[in-house]
Structure 1
Amino acid sequence: MISVFDLFKIGIGPSSSHTVGPMIAANLFLASVSKMASIDNISSVEIELYGSLAATGKGHATDTAILLGLLGHTPSTIDTRLTDHYLSAILDELKLNLLGVHTVGFDAQRDIHWYDDTVLPYHPNALTLRAHLTGGNHFQQTYYSIGGGFVINDEDATNPDEDHASPTIDDIPYPFNNAAELLEQCNQHQLSVSELVLANECHYRSLDEIYAYLDDIWNVMQRCVEQGCQNSGILPGGLQVKRRAQALYLQLCAEKNQPISQSDKLAAMDWVDLYALAVNEENANGGNVVTAPTNGAAGIIPAVMHYYRDFLQSYNQDGVRKFLLNATAIGSLIKQNASISGA
């Protein structure tokens, strides 16, 4: 089974494979360098992007995601409202402060190389990071962003004995590889799907830790919808796409002179559309979103959960947790047996 901690990732837009993954790769790279040399020994850094990461990287902010990762930011903790501030020293002063502790010269025009006509053997989303060290040595590592925020390195990719594309939690009490096995386990042990998934998660983490993570996921989703309804203007990327969620939000608010009717199904669908649109626009703007299970599909689950919150009297926090655990089971089956690309 794939853990809820792997399937749902708090990150940034606009792409789990082109933005979240490359930022994580930068985090992993500096961690690897730190094991063999002090960060202070780095004299310069180079970035090479291949295949799809090079072809569409500008539109997906792949380059800036890597730079933010090298600064020490992570997808789950970065304040995306300050992204321009974080990048200003790099773009204006040509200085890159690695992990916030060691500054090297960095010119994006010179030190980022785009090889859109070269696809590395394992996966089209590939990047190589290289650190030049004092004394003439260098350390480099190639990473593959394989979707959903999952990242593996070149060594992982060439190891035929491991399936790194599908991180799993092993030795769980109630294993399942397909829907039939999942239902069989539920029937045999008299558990609901959410109870079974929770039992598997508790094999590795405490109940409080699991509940805290599920609550964080829901809180980020709610903030994302709220931000999407408040913000206006043109989305980045050069296509001059105008945000629509704020205008739709104001229109729907004007149309309701009283609390939302529980029986007005058409009004409910208008709001569900708004919720999904608000998340999608925040994602396109590079805001904080939950990869669920990809950034391209990040608006769907929050929209359904907001419907539950705003239109069903049975709404409570326990129901939110059960929903996400059920979704984990479904996403795990898809990841194991098909494709997780949900855009």
Structure 2
Amino acid sequence: MQSRNDAAASVSTQAPKTEHAVISTFDLFSIGIGPSSSHTCGPLRAARIFVNDVIESGVHEQIHSLKITLYGSLALTGKGHMTDMAICWGLQGVDPEDMSVDVATLPAKFDSVVDTKHIEIRSGDIAKVVKFDIENDINWRMDKALPRHPNAMQLSVFSDNGDLLATNTFYSIGGGFVVHDNTEITENVFYKSIKKDTVDKSRREVQVLNDDGGVASNAVTQPHKDVPYPFHTGDELLALCQKHNLTIAQIVYNNELTWYTPEEIDAKLSSIWKAMDDSILTGISASDEYLPGPMKVKKRGKMLYNRLQSGLYRGIPSPSPVNSTSLAQHSKLHGDVTHPLPPIPPRRNNEVKSIDFIMCYAIAVMEANACASRLVTSPTMGSAGVLPSVLKYYLEFLSHDQHNDIRQFLLTSAAVGMLIRRGATISAAEGGCMAEIGSATSMAAAGFTALNGGSTKEILQAAECGIEHFLGVTCDIPHGLVQVPCIERNYLGAVKAICAAQLALSTGGDHVVSFDESIKAMRETAALMSTQLKETSLAGLATSVKIPVSVPEC
């Protein structure tokens, strides 16, 4: 946080290479509020950090007013992503991981700020009511992106005579992770905490490396002091597993023991899965017909679930031989029954019922996400339907030990997410949908392969296949809403994850492209993609889909 006496700006230089500590599973998977991890969860967390810093600095009693500026992608799609609402919730001290908080009550908290033009900023038991007119005090800078990251937001507080008391610029870098202008180059950004001092030093501090890979002479931080199995590439992870005769899940589990007890790890993993499972239940239990927003997207999760329960999967056998008389009697037939190539009557195929369950689960989660429900960043909110749907299907129909399978799946997929987060990006503003659903598909493919007894080589190859076939996929959401094409693409990503796992298991993990090569390609592809196709709603479906102006927003 900068005070009014700090330098106004500093020259930006290229950051030296850093060797980041292993990301904790419980940073990668965190409970938040939809619809977006970078545009909802991140801004909410940034606002909480800002209020905490202001209160700790002792200037909160002097605050009279508050102003916020959103830049780049945050400004362009922030309305559809509920960014303004999330910031207000963060300023009010809302903790999404506090399960006692009823998320259904949060819109009313925002409405109160709109009506009163004041907000109670809070951190713990300390609170202060300040002037905040959302209409005038949030500046949406759609025309400007800051160089450090496309998702930037600046928060500033002022005294009653207009003097600047404190300001800080935050960057929401994907998956709910945030950094700010004072984040040190030598600081590991891959942890989520409102108060830095509560985070173990081995997760905060990193080494600064020279171009030749040696430790820089000015390095004063400690490397992975207590982490037994640090890994930074897929090849390193494979070598660790082979050297120590451990699975990927066991490697990650042992690293988590650096910070948590076995009981805490089990409790946290169970909590993550419960939140995932609850998000499916929320989606299939929805009573309203449409998703919020002007596109009037009809909800399908509940309908799909009801069909799965109604016994409609018996199939409709075709008469043999096929004749035009029997075809003509079919009420839902499409096509000319007198044609030499007769049309096929509608039927259900029991052999692919598994796909229908996965479809139902994934769509249910994403419809809950679109309604600002509580979900798990896996690794983002925009991709939050992939992993839960794959794991739910396995647990319900294939598992023989649900407790162990949950741990195996989440820890294995987390390792892949860590490597993608470190080697490329999970931010759609940086890498389009490739970074979100592509990453989730890769993670789910790895987890599903592990649950089927795959080797480390097969797991990494499934992960590679999952991301390889998402390279270059855009994020071009109409009206800034995480609905089209996000909801259906989560389902397709889940199916693709299972296909990638089956391929790896069937071929022994042999593949031309390695996991590390695919991550390098992902990073390079993200840099080459047009900004218009990276969560800005400026091209693609965002401009080709016409939204009726006569339809009021919900």
CA distance in 1 between counterparts of 2:186 and 2:250 reads: 32
- In structure 2, the partner of 1:164 is 189
- In structure 2, the partner of 1:338 is 424
Secondary structure at the aligned position of 2:74 is classed as helix
- In structure 1, the partner of 2:295 is 239
Residue number among 65, 85, 110 corresponding to 1:64 in the alignment? 85
CA distance in 1 between counterparts of 2:190 and 2:238 reads: 25
* Paired AA for residue 35 in structure 2: P
Q: Which has the larger radius of gyration?
A: 2
- In structure 2, the partner of 1:29 is 50
CA-CA distance at 1:137 after TM superposition:
4.3
* Paired AA for residue 276 in structure 2: M
- In structure 2, the partner of 1:19 is 40
Residue number among 361, 365, 369 corresponding to 1:283 in the alignment? 369
CA-CA distance at 1:176 after TM superposition:
1.5
CA distance in 2 between counterparts of 1:191 and 1:280 reads: 35
Asked if the contact 2:362–2:388 (Cα under 8 Å) also holds between the matched residues in 1, the reply is: yes
1:261-280 to 2 correspondences below 5 Å: 265-280=351-366
Higher strand share: 1
CA-CA distance at 1:38 after TM superposition:
4.9
Residue number among 29, 33, 37 corresponding to 1:8 in the alignment? 29
CA-CA distance at 1:133 after TM superposition:
3.1
Asked if the contact 1:23–1:75 (Cα under 8 Å) also holds between the matched residues in 2, the reply is: no
Secondary structure at the aligned position of 2:269 is classed as helix
Asked if the contact 2:156–2:165 (Cα under 8 Å) also holds between the matched residues in 1, the reply is: yes
1:173-226 deviations in whole A, cap 9, x for unaligned? 012222222121112112111111100110122111111111110010111000
CA distance in 1 between counterparts of 2:134 and 2:235 reads: 51
Residue number among 87, 100, 104 corresponding to 1:81 in the alignment? 104
Unaligned ranges ≥5, structure 1 = 259-263
CA-CA distance at 1:108 after TM superposition:
0.9
CA distance in 1 between counterparts of 2:69 and 2:313 reads: 56
When residues 266 and 200 of structure 1 are mapped into structure 2, their CA distance, relative to the original with a 3 A threshold, is same
When residues 161 and 195 of structure 1 are mapped into structure 2, their CA distance, relative to the original with a 3 A threshold, is closer
Asked if the contact 2:252–2:415 (Cα under 8 Å) also holds between the matched residues in 1, the reply is: yes
CA-CA distance at 1:238 after TM superposition:
2.2
CA distance in 2 between counterparts of 1:94 and 1:339 reads: 37
CA distance in 1 between counterparts of 2:129 and 2:179 reads: 27
Secondary structure at the aligned position of 2:182 is classed as helix
Asked if the contact 1:179–1:333 (Cα under 8 Å) also holds between the matched residues in 2, the reply is: yes
When residues 192 and 242 of structure 1 are mapped into structure 2, their CA distance, relative to the original with a 3 A threshold, is same
Unaligned ranges ≥5, structure 2 = 1-21, 193-201, 204-223, 315-349, 427-434, 438-554
1:197-236 to 2 correspondences below 5 Å: 197-231=252-286, 232-236=288-292
Residue number among 136, 141, 148 corresponding to 1:122 in the alignment? 148
Quote the RMSD (CA, aligned, Å): 2.2
Asked if the contact 2:71–2:145 (Cα under 8 Å) also holds between the matched residues in 1, the reply is: yes
1:129-148 to 2 correspondences below 5 Å: 129-134=155-160, 136-148=163-175
* Paired AA for residue 94 in structure 2: H
CA distance in 2 between counterparts of 1:31 and 1:166 reads: 17
CA distance in 1 between counterparts of 2:186 and 2:278 reads: 41
Task: Give aligned pairs, total.
Answer: 337
Asked if the contact 2:24–2:191 (Cα under 8 Å) also holds between the matched residues in 1, the reply is: no
Asked if the contact 1:24–1:75 (Cα under 8 Å) also holds between the matched residues in 2, the reply is: no
- In structure 2, the partner of 1:150 is 177
* Paired AA for residue 266 in structure 1: V
* Paired AA for residue 150 in structure 1: F
- In structure 2, the partner of 1:97 is 120
When residues 197 and 116 of structure 1 are mapped into structure 2, their CA distance, relative to the original with a 3 A threshold, is same
- In structure 1, the partner of 2:409 is 323
CA distance in 2 between counterparts of 1:124 and 1:75 reads: 24
User: What is the TM-score normalised by the length of structure 2?
Assistant: 0.58
CA distance in 1 between counterparts of 2:399 and 2:177 reads: 37
- In structure 2, the partner of 1:188 is 243
Asked if the contact 1:22–1:65 (Cα under 8 Å) also holds between the matched residues in 2, the reply is: yes
Structure 1 stretches of 4+ moved >6 Å: 165-168
CA-CA distance at 1:75 after TM superposition:
2.9
When residues 166 and 230 of structure 1 are mapped into structure 2, their CA distance, relative to the original with a 3 A threshold, is closer
- In structure 2, the partner of 1:261 is none
RCO higher in 1 or 2 (8 Å CA, sep ≥ 6)?
A: 1
1:209-258 deviations in whole A, cap 9, x for unaligned? 11111111001011100010011322123221121111111111112699
Asked if the contact 2:120–2:130 (Cα under 8 Å) also holds between the matched residues in 1, the reply is: yes
Aligned-pair identity in percent equals 39
Secondary structure at the aligned position of 1:177 is classed as coil
* Paired AA for residue 67 in structure 2: E
Asked if the contact 2:365–2:385 (Cα under 8 Å) also holds between the matched residues in 1, the reply is: yes
CA-CA distance at 1:164 after TM superposition:
3.2
